[in-house]
Amino acid sequence: MNTQKGHQMSGLTIAGMALAVTGILVVIWGMNLYPVHLLSPDFMTFATGGLFLVAMGLCMVTGLPAIVQIVGIWLAAVATMLYIYSLPDTDLMIKLIGFVPVLGLALWLSLKFWR
């Protein structure tokens, strides 16, 4: 029987940390495959996916300050908008329309975590 008292991590925190580390590794993998260029769809595919995983992981870790989770959400949102903007052969209006749900979701999630 374990009688020690101390800080124990929950399963959700461990899963969140694993997702965040996986996201960082995805970004690093993309940096090794393609030159780092924020307007390159090839690189931005990895950067967006990786930052999305990091943001999800940060939101799952209990005990983190809300500002850390919100920064993760907005990094993923900005990466998503850069990815949308980097898509070739897409009209600017279509790209701008794609920004609206990304901004709305990021704002909504930010307000949820700020409380």
Instruction: Kindly report, residue by residue over 33-59, the tens digit of the pLDDT.
Output: 999 999 999 999 999 999 999 999 999
How much of the chain, in percent, has pLDDT values that exceed 70? 94
How much of the chain, in percent, has pLDDT values that exceed 90? 87
Phi, psi dihedrals of residue 6, rounded to the nearest 5°: 175, -170
**Average pLDDT rounded to a whole number, residues 75-103:** 96
**Average pLDDT rounded to a whole number, residues 51-77:** 95
Q: pLDDT band at 101, cuts 50/70/90?
A: very high
Tell me the three state secondary structure of residue 24: helix
Percent composition of the chain: helix, strand, coil (DSSP 3-state, to 5): 75, 0, 25
Query: pTM for the whole thing?
Result: 0.86
